[in-house]
A and B are shown apart, each in its own frame.
Chain A
Amino acid sequence: MSNTPLLRRGATLAAALMSASLVLTACGSDGDDTGDKAATAHSDKPAETRSVTAENGTVKVPAAPRRVVTIGNTGLPFIDLGGKPVGVTEASDSDLDVLPKEQRTAYEAAEIIGSSGGEVDLEKLAALKPDLILVQFSSKDWDKVGKRLEAIAPTVSWGLDTEWKAFADAIAEVGNVADALSRQKTAFKEKVAKIQATYGKIIDTTSFVDVSRGNWNDPGTFYIADIGCSEIARDDIGLDLPKAAEGKDPLAYASLPFEQIRGLSKYDVITYPVDADGVPTKPFKPVVETNTWKALPAVKSGRALGLFCPGNNSYGPVNRYLDSLDSALATLSGKQ
């Protein structure tokens, strides 16, 4: 779910890479529709194209793509921007569970072409006759199928280390869904400004730690989240959250045994993952059930805050996360 960003690292480097990577040379646009619906209304005129430069080089793509296939992490961000892909690789149940209804409908309307990036059914993909393929997965997966994807349709690929804002910008431009992006970005800026203005004192004087646990963690282990939504709280909002030393792997990469829950007692406020109903997520439940957790000063004083993070790869879910953070910080106001 929100904390799958374990797959993404080096955000700073990626931001620089992305700003250089997406050089759009627009030759015009013939509409802003995408997906099957649009595909039925195409004209006989040769589609206008433009060149984009991404991780796999400079690619000539349709200015207004109609049959978009998304592979790897590009699916949900594209749908979040109003895109309607004709084919997608499977999203995890935890991601689908928190998807807004209309986005879920768009996802379900698309053909599933594989379980993950490297496991794409190329025959099925080719049968969809895509005019654009959007890809984000590991370089290993790209080496495996990249060339074959490019043989099917114009393919734009981003690495897993792409910073989320740059990624959203790039998807919006290439997928021709920039209007929605603009609205989402405005909302994001407003929410950040509101939180900073309302909880300025708390932000300045409180030490936070964000902890989490995923399905992939060994039994009896958790991790300190310093990437994903936590990164947004730290870098955009300004919360005092732990961060890995320069040049080191993110803290989130280390599974910590439960006995290290006791080390959380040094923080004023602990944040942890909850679902849309405010209940600790299933993987995290074993943590809150331990006596060590219950005995933490922050927990006993009501300063353990559940945060809902439906995703961190595009503005829609991030804005929902900021709403959750806003509500959580509001509960601290009376406790200062």
Chain B
Amino acid sequence: MPRPRRRLLGLLVVLVVLAVLLMLSVMIGSTAIAPSVVWDALFHSSADTDQFAIRDFRLPRTVVGLVVGAALGLSGALIQALTRNPLADPGVLGVHAGASFAVTVAVGLLGVRDVQGYMWFAFAGALIVTLLVLAFGSTRQGSSPVVMVLAGVCVGAVLGGFREALQLTDPDAFDAMRNWNAGSIAGRPLEVVWPVLPFFAVALVLAFVVSGPLNALALGDELAVAQGVRLVRTRVLAVIALTLLAGGATAIAGPIGFVGLMVPHVARWIVGPDQRWIFAYSALLAPSLLLVSDILGRVVTRPGEIPVGIVTAFVGAPVLVALVRRKKSSGL
């Protein structure tokens, strides 16, 4: 079968898997609810406690998982393509550090306590810090991915210090941050998703625009320039796109690791080095991983739950080790 058709077929399979997981996410929870009740809750609604449990909790959670997962997967693919580093994730540009610092300020100094309140701080923190990193990482010769990553690590370390100092002096903030830092899609109403969607839409368009130039960049700066790629423009657009995606996802769910790191690898194994396909696969595989992890987190410690950020770390860490030990590690 020709390669493009294989990729398309694979994409359809991934889409079907995602659709099944979306259904399972609505069907399975920390309590058993009959499938007929789930069906009625979705299509023949009434004021029943079981139906409310489906509509008010499981459905929003599933939508949040879908959106956050897609954003994390795509942003991971973008940062790996941009830095030509298969071990990069949006955290290296200070996205998580910026978001965490801003949430700590919101919780500790301003007394903000609910997700709807501090998500905007997280988003703003992620954006501002990434812009700072972009500025620090730009030299007279242009922006270098290596310098950008170093700047991201430095800014992240400084903000991490401030954040910890704030948390140590305020036990309430420490408590609130403990939950947020774990990374979770539980308890997030749909109201936290809608405001972020326009930003994700913009990022999606930008990702599509830069996917071609990023393919050329994988061959090296000189060859990319020779092919007509405008380096600075491409990098700036890619950084904006991945910041909007990772910042928005982190604002909604807190820092969730490994998804943005691992999924683009898997996508690259399946489709090869073409960024356009990697982006498409990452955007579908990442929510699948997130939803599987979330479903696992709901059932393994019933009646309690494990935040999805912890489960993805459990799932992601061994896979990452296997990845880096592979002889034929996925190149970029």
| Residues of A participating in the B interface, judged by any CB pair closer than 8 Å | 92-93, 115-116, 215-221, 254-263, 265, 282-283, 286, 290-292, 295-296
Contact = CB atoms under 8 A, between A and B. Distances in A.
B184 A258 contact: no
Nearest to A90: B171
Contact of B50 (A92, A219, A262, A290): A262
B18 to A, nearest CB: 23
B179 interface: yes
A258 B304 contact: no
A297 B182 CA distance: 35
A259 B175 CA distance: 23
Contacts of A265: 49
Nearest to A296: B49
Interface in B28-47: 29-31, 47
B96 interface: no
B172 A221 contact: no
B47 A295 contact: yes
Nearest to A262: B49
A292 B186 contact: no
A218 B186 contact: yes
Given A215-B172, A215-B176, A295-B48, A262 B31 contact: yes
A254 B171 contact: no
Given A92-B172, A115-B169, A286-B114, A257 B186 contact: yes
A115 B168 CA distance: 10
B30 A256 contact: yes
A90 B304 CA distance: 32
A282 B113 contact: yes
B163 interface: no
Given A265-B49, A282-B113, A259 B187 contact: no
A257 B56 contact: no
A255 B53 contact: no
Contacts of A290: 52, 56
B176 A257 contact: no
Contact of A295 (B52, B113, B188): B52
B199 interface: no
B228 interface: no
Contact of A256 (B47, B169, B303): B303
B66 interface: no
Residue picked from A258, A286, A296, most chain B C-beta under 10 Å: A258
B175 A220 contact: no
Given A115-B171, A219-B188, A220-B186, A259 B31 contact: yes
Contact of A254 (B47, B169, B304): B304
Interface SS of B by simple majority: helix
A292 B184 contact: no
Contact of B49 (A115, A254, A255, A295): A295
User: In which size bucket is the chain B interface?
Assistant: 20 to 34
B127 interface: no
B57 interface: yes
B268 interface: no
B298 to A, nearest CB: 7
Nearest to B301: A254
29 contacts: A215-B172, A217-B179, A218-B187, A219-B184, A219-B188, A220-B187, A221-B186, A221-B305, A254-B304, A255-B304, A256-B303, A256-B304, A257-B29, A257-B186, A257-B298, A257-B303, A257-B305, A259-B58, A260-B303, A262-B49, A262-B50, A262-B52, A262-B53, A263-B31, A290-B52, A292-B52, A292-B53, A295-B48, A295-B49
Contacts of A93: 172
Given A215-B176, A259-B57, A291 B187 contact: no
Contacts of B124: none
Residue picked from A93, A115, A220, A290, most chain B C-beta under 10 Å: A220
B307 interface: yes
B285 interface: no
Nearest to B115: A219
A283 B50 CA distance: 23
A215 B48 CA distance: 29
Interface string B117-146: 000000000000000000000000000000
B86 to A, nearest CB: 33
Residue picked from B114, B169, B186, most chain A C-beta under 10 Å: B186
A334 to B, nearest CB: 25
A296 B52 CA distance: 11
A64 B114 CA distance: 47
Contact of A219 (B29, B171, B187, B298): B187
B60 to A, nearest CB: 9
B114 A257 contact: no
Nearest to A292: B52
Contacts of B178: 216
A291 to B, nearest CB: 4
Contacts of A283: 113
Contacts of B115: 219
A261 B53 contact: yes
B49 A220 contact: no
A116 B172 CA distance: 12
A218 B175 CA distance: 9
Given A261-B53, A262-B53, A295-B52, A116 B171 contact: yes
A257 B49 contact: no
Interface string B148-187: 0000000000000000000001011001101100101011
A225 to B, nearest CB: 15
Contacts of B52: 262, 290-292, 295
Nearest to A214: B175
